[in-house]
Structure 1
Amino acid sequence: MPSGTGTGDEEESLSAYKARLHQQHSRPLIEQVSNQWKEKEGFSDQHQEKSLYLEDDTGELGFCDLEDEGSCPNVSRDIVSSRRFRRMFAIALLAALLLYYAWKHFVAPPLEEDWAYKEGFVAQENGTYGIAKGGSDIDPDLVRLRDLDKGLLPGGEADPEGKRRLVFVGDVHGCKKELVKLLEEVGFEEKSDHLVLVGDTISKGPDNVGVLDELMRLKATSVRGNHEDRILQVAKSAHNTLSSTSSKGRAKDVALLKQLKPHHIEYLRSMPLMLHIPTLPQASKPTHKKDSPISEHILVVHAGVVPGVPFFKQDPYYIMNMRSINRRTHVPSALRASSKNEKPWFDVWNWYNDRIFRKQSLKHFNTALQTSFQDDEDNDDNVWTSLWKNFWGERHARPKPQVVIYGHDSKEGLQIKRWSKGLDSACVSGGKLTALVLDAKGMWEVKSVGCKNYRG
């Protein structure tokens, strides 16, 4: 074998060896370990790949790793520290505070008051009239309830053309000059208009006899007020002289009684506790607004009425003296409201009648008792209609809304609401004498004249 050939083979073998050695050193150390060791320890190529994959995957699931910028704590920190997040948080906090303020001051109070009013109408074991029920000292001469003469009703059978008017006047208290002036202001027509007073026609003022004479001349109708009632109580007493009086107020009542003639006393006795005026036949369609035409039954009293209580179970004393009422018990008081549960009586009255007008639920309300007047057409159903209504429980199931016209509370002043019209505007103390004029269509207007102060 020639020497040149051997030398070339050796060089070729050396180059191949160096190449294999270089390739071996460039591989990972784990692959340079003998197959026997890898098999012994269980590190096959497949196991190694799977192990490396799991290790990397486990690293991705490490969301609490603080060294990883994509971990949950680091991402949360970046979000919280961002200006946009702080702005959104401030807006959300402000919105929550505004919602709480609106709930506390605007939403919750009406809801609470609504429930308190409602509670007074829910049937209770002792009823809704409490300790005031019935009254104990009732004047045997007292006419509890009187209906207005049908011939005086605007738009009624005696007034087909609808020219009649009713003129309601607040507490006169012996102020004849102001009464005459007010009737001139409203254009009172003696032949067609009828004058209705809310009581307290006498006492305190300068011309009590003159007022009574004028009312009798005009054939006016008045309900009994607390001052007429006081005079009648004094008249019944066998000891009505000035020397036997025990108070300044009674002394004034005795002095006034001495000025009155028997026909004056008889006129006072004829004053009913309540005056009922039926619906006006020609009245326009009513609404729930304060200035709505009056097309409902009207009840005239001096001071107030307890809503939801039958008229003949109303306490006479409170009809003439009521100023406030407990909204939860419906027990009235002659004093003004002085606590959270005490409200002006007309607030509860208006709430109740507005609920009836809107046909809202009266479930659990004490409506089994007759608490409203009925129209004649309510009883004109034929036999089949009557049976149908009785079957469905519709007959007399709901009371009807009513309007109360009253006086008595001069400190409250003129109070014109949808379901109540308070006309005492403190004439005798230098205020005004007020009239509400009602026509056959149910349209009404309020007129007033100034008064001299007779109490100063």
Structure 2
Amino acid sequence: MSTYLIGDVHGCYDELIALLKQVEFSPETDTLWLTGDLVARGPASLEVLRYVRSLGDAVRLVLGNHDLHLLAVFAGISRNKPKDRLAPLLEAPDADLLLNWLRRQPLLQVDEEKKLVMAHAGITPQWDLATARACASDVEAVLSSDSYPYFLDAMYGDMPNNWSGELSGLARLRFITNSLTRMRYCFPGGQLDMYCKDTPDSAPAPLKPWFDLPGPVPAQYSIVFGHWASLEGKGTPPGIYALDTGCCWGGELTCLRWEDKAFFTQPSNRRQEAGGSPLTAAS
């Protein structure tokens, strides 16, 4: 019985299946954790969603910013971008089933036995774990409700960028969504910077990666995240794991087996087609 954690799939279905075969994943005995951004940029978002949904209780996932954007397109709020290659999914006969399943997935996963936390972008240093859980639940409740299009219409925007327990309404939901699905850098006080996408060695002062700022999540918890392909899985402190290694950009799909901390990778089938690399891609 193993726990496999895989970085952003981004519609790379063939690589996902090859990686799962490589580690001999069995949905009957193993559990698969996915860091979000299941869809967009790769060629087979439809196949990825169908497969992941078919796994039932064998999968634990979180939503990423591209998953939320897909839901906004589905709701008629945002425009479908050709580069996202979502048309086959949106036009599929089971699109309604798949996307209504997707919007009921969580933004945060916590396993108390393993002391393991997963969010697409990470955990803002302004939150302790109880606050992160409560905040994620706020957005999950709205996404699961009939009023979810109103939230999706208001989620775009970079403000507010500073947490306060007094935040309410759509401003509160927007901050939570940005923290869990879009965050990379923070100012020294923990405020979010939503503009810089550089690698940490070239980011302007005083910005720091969120994981380099002290936060109140207890040290016994490990944090797994995706979203930041240009990290190439490197440069995080002990106990924090970056798993997006830019498969859709011609990089690799990366898997971490939790029990022995062994890493496995599957090269992208589209190294030439992608025309970019994880060093320059913005996911």
- Identify whether the pair has TM-score above 0.5, normalized to the shorter chain: yes
- Who is 2:103 aligned against? 269
Tell me the equivalent position of 1:206. Answer: 43
Q: Deviations over 1:347-373 (max 9, x none)?
A: 12xx54xxxxxxxxxxxxxxxxxx55x
The amino acid across from 1:300 in the alignment is: M
Is the counterpart of residue 228 in structure 1 residue 67 in structure 2? yes
Cα distance in 2 for partners of 1:336, 1:194 equals 32
C-alpha distance in 2 between matches for 1:315 and 1:254: 29
The corresponding residue for 1:165 is 2
Structure of larger gyration radius: 1
Specify the SS of the correspondent of 2:231. Answer: coil
Q: Residue 435 of structure 1 aligns with which residue? A: 255
Question: What's the Cα RMSD here?
Answer: 2.4
Q: Give me the whole-angstrom Cα distance separating, in 2, the residues matched to 1:256 and 1:183.
A: 23
3-state SS in 2 of match to 1:272: coil
Q: Which residue of 2 aligns with 1:448?
A: 265
Shift of 1:179: 0.5
Letter in 2 for 1:257: L
> How far 1:212 moved relative to its partner?
1.2
Q: How many residue pairs are counted as aligned between the two chains?
A: 221
Shift of 1:333: 2.2
Q: What corresponds to 2:204 in structure 1?
A: 339
Once the two structures are TM-superposed, the CA of residue 249 in structure 1 deviates from its matched residue by 6.0
Question: Does the Cα contact within 8 Å between 2:46 and 2:88 map onto a contact in 1?
Answer: no
On the 8 A contact 1:230/1:253 being kept in 2, the answer is no
Cα distance change, pair 419–251 in 1 and its aligned pair in 2 (3 A)? closer
1:323 aligns with 2:184: yes
TM-score, length-normalised on structure 1? Answer: 0.45
Distance in 1 (CA, whole Å) between partners of 2:29 and 2:5 is 14
Give unpaired runs (5+ residues) of structure 1.
1-163, 281-296, 353-370, 373-398
More relative contact order in 1 or in 2 (CA 8 Å, sep 6+)? 2
The gaps in structure 2 that reach 5 residues or longer are 136-174, 276-283
Give SS of 2:122's match.
coil
Q: Tell me, in whole angstroms, the C-alpha distance in 2 between the residues paired with 1:236 and 1:213.
A: 19
Richer in helix (by share): 1
Equivalence for 1:306:
124
Q: Distance in 2 between matches of 1:266 and 1:448?
A: 31
Which of 242, 247, 257 is matched with 2:90 structurally?
257
Whichever residue aligns with residue 60 of structure 2, its letter is T
What are the superposed Cα offsets for residues 231-290 of structure 1, whole Å, 9 maximum, x if unpaired? 11122227x7xxxx4x8469855664233522211221122111111133xxxxxxxxxx
Deviation by residue 1:29-73 (Cα, 9 ceiling, x = unmatched): xxxxxxxxxxxxxxxxxxxxxxxxxxxxxxxxxxxxxxxxxxxxx
Counterpart amino acid of residue 215 in structure 1: V
Q: 1:423, 1:434 within 8 Å by CA — same for their partners in 2?
A: yes
Aligned 1:54-453 pairs, distance under 5 A: 164-219=1-56, 220-237=59-76, 245=79, 248=81, 256-259=89-92, 261-280=95-114, 297-309=115-127, 310-311=131-132, 312-313=134-135, 315-327=176-188, 329-334=189-194, 335-336=196-197, 338-348=203-213, 351-352=214-215, 372=217, 399=218, 401-415=220-234, 417-439=237-259, 443-453=260-270
CA–CA distance in structure 1, aligned partners of residues 268 and 241 of structure 2: 20
Provide Cα deviations, 1:292-328, integer angstroms capped at 9, x if missing partner: xxxxx2111111211241213462122101111112x
Structure 2 counterpart of 1:343, one-letter code: K
Q: 2:8 touches 2:38 (CA, 8 Å); kept in 1?
A: yes
Percent identity over the alignment? 26
Q: Distance in 2 between matches of 1:166 and 1:330?
A: 32
